Amino acid sequence: MSVVELTAHSEFVERSLVHDGELVRYRIHAPRQGVTTRPVLLFLHGSGERGMDNIAQTRVGLGPALLRGAVPLPLLAVFPQLPPGASWQGVHAGRALAVLEDACAHCGGDGTRVALSGLSRGGYGVWELALLQPARYRALIPICAGLTARVGSPDLRVAALDGCADPWREAARRLCDVPVWMVHGALDDVIP
């Protein structure tokens, strides 16, 4: 399959693949430029964008910034979507990684230049996916995320660190070769 042709500035192109017998839909965005391969930014959305519409994940965070031209980089942005009630763990982490592979193979993504970002639940997913494949990513940008479960939200955690006495130290040890830019606000009362 050839590189997907993208229109200038405004479209999120719908893509799909079959992973472990399940149809997995996702969106991509890239400016139309004369490059055949682009660096890739895999963006993991938060809880409010879960669903089955394959649109909501583009409406918060990186998606709107791309549409208004605030990210003037020749990158391929990849937007998987979690189903309702899911987290970026287990089978859903595997699906996100399959989406990344598909986008690199068929949409002009350079699999050697991959950054990973996400906000809130997606920020937890950044840690999860990075810990599963630490050598895969050039940079991590978790936004308003933590590592451990919150009271009342046992699934909002990084499962790859379950059982660690000091999850932050263990994450730092395992990801010591990957640049990380953690973004969080002092007024966040959801994930303080």
Where do the structural domains in the chain lie, given as residue ranges?
Answer: 13-174
* pLDDT of the residue at 142: 97
The fourth-level CATH superfamily of domain 13-174 is Alpha/Beta hydrolase fold, catalytic domain (3.40.50.1820)
Which residues are bridge partners to 16 per DSSP? 25
pLDDT tens, per residue, the chain with 192 residues: 334 444 443 479 999 999 999 999 999 998 676 677 899 999 999 999 999 999 999 999 999 998 888 777 789 999 999 999 999 999 999 999 999 999 999 999 999 999 999 999 999 999 999 999 999 999 999 999 989 887 778 888 999 999 999 999 999 999 999 999 999 888 877 776
Handedness of CA 103, 71, 54, 85 (dihedral sign): positive
* pLDDT of the residue at 34: 65
* pLDDT of the residue at 9: 39
Distance CA 106, CA 13 (A): 12
